[in-house]
Amino acid sequence: MLLASAVVVWEWLNEHGRWRPYSPAVSHQIEAAIRSSDPRGGSVVLGQVDSRLSPYIIDLQSMHQFRQDTGTIRPVRRTFYDPVSAPGQGWQWEWENDAGTWTPYDMEVAIAIESAHSRQQTCLDLTPLGFCYLIDFKNMTQVNRQSQRCRRIQRRADLAYPLVSGPLPVPKGGAVGGGLPVLGLGQPCSCQQCMLVLSVKTGAGGPGGPGGGAAAIQTLNRRALTMQRPKISRAPSARLSRPPWGGACSRAPPTTRRCRTAWPSPRTRRRHGGTPSCSPSRWPPSPPAPPPWVSRSSLAGLSRPALQRIAMAQSRALIASGVPTVPVKNLNGSSPVHPALAGMTGILMSAAALPVCLTRPPKLVLHPPPISKSDIKPVPGFNHSCRKTTKKQVRKGKTPEEVVKKYLQKVKSPPEEDCTICMEPLGGPSGYKGPGVGPVSKAESVGRLTQCGHQYHFQCLVAMYNNGNKDGSLQCPTCKTIYGVKTGNQPAGKMEYHVIPHSLPGHPDCKSIRIIYNIPPGIQGPEHPNPGKPFTARGFPRHCYLPDSEKGRKVLRLLLVAWDRRLIFSVGTSSTTGESDTVIWNEVHHKTEFGSNLTGHGFPDPGHLDNVLEELRAQGITEEDALVEK
């Protein structure tokens, strides 16, 4: 047997399908929770070590991260890396984001960068890792090969990730990779980690199992090592079963929680005919051990899938069993209230010394199954499948004063109330003193909007119009009634739509309409917040979905009207990332999750279509506009 070591990094899966590492401190906290002998230890509150992660809880039973305030659930994993790699040595590689803060690279990318840096390379191409970037170590920059955009990078010393050790088998007749000596063969250790490793080896094609001949073992650095394994037979009744928690090596003595093995001399091993188990002789005897292995490997000799199976099995098995748990179900829906209540319930149960087990959530399904071009059909009743927008066309001929007067009635005797724009009495002058508004006569100083009847200073309405899109429309600041045709500041782009042969959850009787929005980055125009400054367009193309029903097609027609009026998107500050000068949604909700509703942006959602119709109505788009669209 061999004491092999590896660095453990805990990671979570983001919405782009990439595994992002937790900090070393958080990984240490999770590992400490796993090593804890507390039988109630089934979840980890991340806010105890990092206040920025206070809403998050990791459920070790289901290997998921739960956010209490929104109900978002994401998978987590426990990954092994070489102790001499970047996480084992405490080096963090980070890049500077648009907000001026530092973002860590994915762990495998950071390991590749650190390896190239240690070899004193001048640059590193990340294309083989799936990223179109070039790392320049001389200038400490990251260059995008497509856009040539340059960002700063840094190498920062931090706490090393936790190091775990455990007795693992080694191949007979030689050492693996690290040049460690081979120990005599005998019965394997009966501790929990050894049992898990042996069971994974059995399922991965060990002796007596599938593929028990020559096996190609992939090491952590992706190099293949071929080992010859002689075939042996096993007794039909011999099985690898998990030992009871009261047995040997299930708990360490009070002074230590690590499983230790005292290796005797070769003479002692020959006299006793095997290696001792890792439990002292005064502990209860171990359960019957499985037959000895003829061919074994260290941790570095296991492939990445095998390592992931070991990590998952360890994380589940090291949680005490036999204690009744009260499940806290993940209640799906568009509202985050129910999942958040489940998270708070879990916290209260933990505080009351009750074990908590969050049920495993359904898998996030953002996109439909692969679709061939021949299966994509036009939407019934539509003569086209694509719509483009260009830059905003400036309307000429009418001054702001002429536009505002078109929607006003004169008020001879203003009421004794305040103008809700400038908060000054209507009987007095306007509180607006800025440019762009000329003097008016007292008879025209106050006007009443023709439809809703709300009254304002004429100069205040002109100033409000000048601060908007200047598109010939006016919106009452009190009741939001729209006068004219409202347009937005959506950048130029393309909208595609077609029918795909898959049904949305909650709509099994019809196919689905897929909408694809694509807006490239560009320069802000005069209608945008910062004219002349570049704007970004993150996450495009964006895929959205509607049921191919009568109401779904009506919503699509109104969305086309909103697209033509540039009301689907806008340029501003993202409420999700905080990034400014970027393309954002403009208060018309879309469903971007195809086969699930974990984020609240998917199906089933019975009220979604009615909600979209109401939101479009608030933008001045009604069913009469759908008739014109036909």
pLDDT at 565: 92
Smallest CA-to-CA distance from 212 within 225, 197, 229 is with 229
H or E stretch covering 148: none
User: How confident is the model at residue 325, as a pLDDT?
Assistant: 40
Supply the pLDDT for residue 356. 56
CATH of residue 523's domain is 3.30.390.130
Q: What is the pLDDT of residue 613?
A: 94
Host H or E run for residue 116: helix 107-118
Whether residues 20 and 148 fall in one domain: yes
Helices and strands, number each (H, E), in the chain: 12, 30
Please state, in angstroms and rounded to a whole number, the distance separating the CA atoms of residues 365 and 594: 6
Q: Which segment, 234-248, 275-289, 343-357, 384-398, is predicted with the most confidence on average?
A: 384-398
The b/e string for 452-466 (b: 16+ C-beta within 10 A; e otherwise) is eeebbbbbbbbbbbe
Angle at 510 between CA 506 and CA 514, to 5 degrees: 90
Tokens 């990445």 locate to 304
Same domain, 37 and 159: yes
Which residue has better confidence, 518 or 199? Answer: 518
Residues 572 and 435 in one domain: no
Interval 421-452: pLDDT, tens? 888 999 888 887 766 566 777 767 899 999 99
Residues in contact with 582: Cβ distance below 8 Å, sequence separation at least 6, in sequence order: 535, 536, 537, 538, 571, 572, 573, 574
Residue where a domain stops, chosen among 148, 164, 180: 164
Final residue belonging to a domain, choices 164, 196, 214: 164
Q: What is the DSSP letter of 536?
A: B
The tokens describing 112, both together, are 């590749």
Provide φ and ψ at 496, rounded to 5°. -115, 150
Confidence at residue 11, expressed as pLDDT on a 0 to 100 scale: 93
Q: What percent of the chain clears pLDDT 70, i.e. is strictly above it?
A: 64
Check whether residue 445 and residue 500 sit in a common domain: no
Residue 95 lies in a domain: yes
Query: Is 597 part of any domain?
Result: yes
Instruction: Quote the pLDDT of residue 450.
Output: 92
- Tell me what pLDDT residue 491 has: 94
Distance CA 489, CA 586 (A): 10
Domain total of the chain:
3
Q: Is residue 16 domain-resident?
A: yes
> 451 and 497 in one domain?
no
- 545 pLDDT above the threshold of 60: yes
Same domain, 17 and 82: yes
Structure tokens at 606: 């019975």
Reported as a single tens digit per residue, the pLDDT across 567-612 is 999 999 988 788 899 999 998 999 999 988 877 889 999 999 999 9
Per-residue model confidence (pLDDT) at position 119 = 93
Same domain? For 27 and 70 the reply is: yes
Beta bridge partners of 164: 6
Asked if residue 365 is part of any domain, the answer here is no
Pairing between β-strand 102-104 and β-strand 326-328 as defined by DSSP bridges: unpaired
Give one DSSP letter per residue of 157-223, joined into a string.
E-PPPPEEEEEE---TTS--SS-PPPPPP-SPP-SHHHHHHHHHHHHTT-TTSTT-SSEEEE-TTS-
Mean pLDDT of 361-389: 86
Per-residue pLDDT reduced to its tens digit, 34-68: 887 554 457 888 888 888 888 888 888 788 888 87
Domain end among 469, 484, 505: 469
* Measured distance CA(183)–CA(289) in Å, rounded: 18
Considering the domain architecture, whether residues 542 and 585 belong to the same structural domain is answered as: yes
Note whether 43 and 98 are same-domain residues: yes
Burial per residue of 417-449, b for 16 or more beta-carbon CB atoms within 10 angstroms, e otherwise: eebebbeeebeeebbbeeeebeebeeeebbbeb
**Could you tell me if 457 and 419 lie in one domain?**
yes
- The DSSP symbol for 585 reads E
Range of the domain at 127: 5-164
Percent of the chain with pLDDT strictly greater than 90? 35
Coil, helix or strand at residue 110: helix
Do 591 and 448 lie in one domain? The reply is no
Q: What is the Cα–Cα distance from 180 to 300, expressed in whole angstroms?
A: 12
Please provide the distance, in angstroms rounded to a whole number, between the alpha carbons at the two ends of the chain: 76
Q: Mean pLDDT for the chain?
A: 73
Enumerate residues 6+ apart whose C-beta is below 8 A from 365: 593, 594, 595, 596, 602
Residue 282 lies in a domain: no
Residue 154 has pLDDT above 60, yes or no: yes
Tell me the C-alpha to C-alpha distance, in Å, between residue 339 and each of 46, 86, 328, 608: 18, 37, 9, 20
- pTM (predicted TM-score): 0.47
Whichever domain contains 442, its CATH number is 3.30.40.10
Q: Is residue 371 part of a domain?
A: no
Q: What is the pLDDT of residues 247-266, one digit of tens each?
A: 333 333 333 333 333 344 43
CA distance 556 to 546: 8
CATH number at 146 reads 3.30.720.50
Residue 216 lies in a domain: no
Residue 218 pLDDT: 32
Whether residues 444 and 586 fall in one domain? no
Please tell me which of 367-376, 510-519, 621-630 the model is most confident about, judged by mean pLDDT: 510-519
pLDDT of residue 102: 92
The answer to whether the CB of 583 falls within 8 A of the CB of 569 is: yes
Q: Is residue 438 part of a domain?
A: yes
